[in-house]
Structure 1
């Protein structure tokens, strides 16, 4: 029988810039070797001086690498951490009126510092997860995820194993750091003032002292590796605009067959491969240019304006 325990203590005082989070953690919890300490990013940010007297809209640009999607008042962006979140994770809850809290500059580094501090003061080897709340594509509601981690396997790798029926597992990789974040949030709640939690029962995920692991950053797909790098509307706009700076989220060049199928669907004309190119008997107008851009190809100039020539971009 497996048993998982989650403890989220009451009575943690308001955290302010410069506070000793390790001392506050140890005053609230008594960790053992193999425990995982879960800390909300909000108290990490408060201790690190990431509170601003501002509003979300004023701060958003400085926390944004690029806009992923907009829909009404909601703006989904990619942050400097690589996270894709509403309003870059900027939060105006559980903070004084007129103030906002930005995400930590480096949540993995914050997790490493907490882990090192606990080991230095107690001799205990624990894992640390720094959490924040995020929505999910295709799902209503939010859940907590790991934005920082230290001393922890953030994902379990099942590829190459077989299930009890002998079926091979190809891509199964549970994001256990996110699962721990979600489990801790069930005990912490949103309004109860419980920024710390201790998860006991998964010591197998905790790394030895001195090994911090890859951090939560390892759970972030690289630019171009996400199948949904833009929102539906934004993808259309970016492809039609054709700004080279917008190419990365569309990923690596598609195959000639994939592009040919898209050209046939949109233009009704078949294309033929020739010398590493695709040639289609239609002018290289906006539709063809947008399709080429979205598939990682470029349109070449041609003396015969009735024939469009397309070539894949170099990776």
Structure 2
């Protein structure tokens, strides 16, 4: 497998055609996977905002005051309001905000970024990353570039571990996972639970060469990787019924002595 960053991508503006920008800077072949950072997808979709656009509710002020008192650092209630408006559920409200986005991704602060946004205060996640991935893939097809899968990625922290890794937010042209259930291991035992999230694994691999911060590259071409002769699945985000952690968090409050 080869990973090649797409270099010299300019600062993205609302309305920019990401498929065209990538096609002009990379040679794409059938079977490739193109990973695209959600940062540039959001910028192309105009998903930027300023703090003054968020009138503060009592809930947002309460959250900001509570976290500020705990961390001894004043928190802007307008930011808390932005997080609330970008979320469908607030799972943790102290000592940080852990939320579910509209498309089912659970992350800190609804994934709102405050870095690499030159003209605004905030960069919001794409509204529908799967549709964004499909739009980029269609744009490549319109330029005669067929059979290229697209993954919209982000970096995300993980429970129980330090550090962030690349994860998939939306994808098109490939299944999300290899479903090994029903296959046999080397000893002939049937696998009962193994579902391999390949869109997350490819996002993480791409992030190794994409980089972070000022030196980051927003798109990476993955070549000579094959899905293999295994059943595919598009299930990535757990449903509430299957998610024991989310159900436990709904009953937990910060500061409980138990």
TM-score by length of 1: 0.67
| Residue 189 of structure 2 is aligned to residue 167 of structure 1 | yes
- Which of 52, 56, 61 is the aligned partner of 2:79? 56
What CA deviation, in whole Å up to 9, does each residue of 1:132-176 have, x standing for no partner? 111112222111110000001210011111112222211111100
- Shift of the 230–77 alpha-carbon distance from structure 1 to 2, 3 Å rule, reads farther
How far, CA to CA, are the matches of 2:99 and 2:110 in structure 1? 6
Q: Which residue of 2 aligns with 1:190?
A: 212
Contact 2:17 2:44 in 1 (8 A): yes
Q: Which residue of 2 aligns with 1:120?
A: 142
Contact 2:178 2:233 in 1 (8 A): no
Q: Which residue of 2 aligns with 1:269?
A: none
- Shift of the 104–165 alpha-carbon distance from structure 1 to 2, 3 Å rule, reads same
**How far off is 1:236 after superposition?**
3.7
**How far off is 1:80 after superposition?**
1.0
**Any residues of structure 2 matched to 1:77-226 within 5 Å, and which?**
77-96=99-118, 98-191=120-213, 192-204=215-227, 218-226=235-243
Max Rg structure: 1
How far, CA to CA, are the matches of 1:137 and 1:10 in structure 2? 32
Q: Which residue of 1 aligns with 2:251?
A: 235
Structure 1 spans left out of the alignment, 5+ residues: 206-212, 239-315
SS at match of 1:6: strand
How far, CA to CA, are the matches of 2:79 and 2:44 in structure 1? 20
SS at match of 1:60: helix
Q: Which residue of 2 aligns with 1:67?
A: 90
What CA deviation, in whole Å up to 9, does each residue of 1:50-95 have, x standing for no partner? 01122632311111111111332x1101111111110001111111
Q: Which residue of 2 aligns with 1:284?
A: none
Q: Which residue of 2 aligns with 1:14?
A: 11
Greater relative contact order (CA < 8 Å, ≥ 6 in sequence): 2
**Any residues of structure 2 matched to 1:15-54 within 5 Å, and which?**
15-54=12-51
Contact 1:111 1:148 in 2 (8 A): yes
How far, CA to CA, are the matches of 1:114 and 1:236 in structure 2? 40
SS at match of 1:156: strand
The alignment's C-alpha RMSD in Å is 2.2
Structure 2 spans left out of the alignment, 5+ residues: 52-77
**Structure 1 runs of 4+ off > 4 angstroms?**
none
How far, CA to CA, are the matches of 2:246 and 2:135 in structure 1? 32
